[in-house]
Structure 1
Amino acid sequence: MSYSDATIWGLIIALGICTFLIRFSFLGLIGDRKLPDWVLRHLRYTPVAVIPGLIAPLVVWPDATGGTPDPARMAAAAVTAIAGYLTRNVFLSILSGMVTLYVGLALVGG
């Protein structure tokens, strides 16, 4: 498919305007108001819902291995999750996952 320059720039501008309006609806219109407690309660779960959706494909189908599951990455993800659950410390969780990944890659030869 071949699109003209005007079509591409029109799409870029339209998507930019739509993105601005979505963000402005939260930041500009209700940014200085107190949100109801039920909204704040639901917003607490946003990272818990979004982060696994971002990380799971990188663990299960990593680009570094051509999309095949890798035991070192699976182990690192498991150790990170367990360390995060037990310690409730983000830094220790990330550090334990990094160490597990590097040791696993050194042992497997990745």
Structure 2
Amino acid sequence: MNGTETEMAFDTMTLWIVIVGLAIGSFALRFAFIGLVGNRAMPDWLMRHLRYTAVAIIPALVAPLVIWPAPTDGAPSLIHFTAAALTFAVATMTKNVLFAMATGAGSLWGLTYLLG
């Protein structure tokens, strides 16, 4: 092992404790909304805010991949910025999520093939 590599070893018991803990936490979070509140009507103000959840999640998942792309070890990449800009432009003009995603994937693949 050279100086740039690090080795992390976990014993089996620690791994299973983490897996079970995450499973319990995930179940508890879902149960809080579905099991405890699922059969009640939500207030209008809450439903209005929940409509924007999906719109906020996709950019939150994509932004780190554009700003710190893994293929360049976190260095800014013109290819990733361009693909993101094209995707945003198509989404804004067409209001079609699937077409925007296909444009983003195609432009990223095409630009990587041509420039990368």
TM over 0.5: yes
Within the candidate set 53, 62, 68, 1:46 is matched to: 53
Q: Larger relative contact order (C-alpha < 8 A, sep ≥ 6)? A: 1
Within the candidate set 79, 83, 97, 1:90 is matched to: 97
Return the letter of the residue paired with 1:36.
P
How many residue pairs get aligned? The number is 109
1:33 to partner: Cα distance? 2.1
RMSD over equivalenced CA pairs, Å: 2.0
- Secondary structure at the counterpart of residue 10 of structure 1: helix
Residue 25 (structure 1) aligns with: 32
Report the TM-score, using the length of structure 1 for normalisation: 0.83
- Secondary structure at the counterpart of residue 31 of structure 1: coil
CA–CA distance in structure 2, aligned partners of residues 62 and 16 of structure 1: 29
Q: Gapped runs of 5+ residues in structure 2?
A: 1-7
CA–CA distance in structure 2, aligned partners of residues 72 and 3 of structure 1: 38
Closer, same or farther: CA 9–86 of 1 in aligned 2, 3 Å: same
Matched, 1:99 2:106: yes
Within the candidate set 29, 47, 72, 1:65 is matched to: 72
CA–CA distance in structure 1, aligned partners of residues 63 and 18 of structure 2: 30
Closer, same or farther: CA 103–6 of 1 in aligned 2, 3 Å: closer
CA–CA distance in structure 2, aligned partners of residues 41 and 85 of structure 1: 22
Deviation readout 1:24-65 (Å, 9 max, x if unpaired): 011111112221111101101112222212101111111112
Return the letter of the residue paired with 2:81.
M
Identical positions, percent: 44
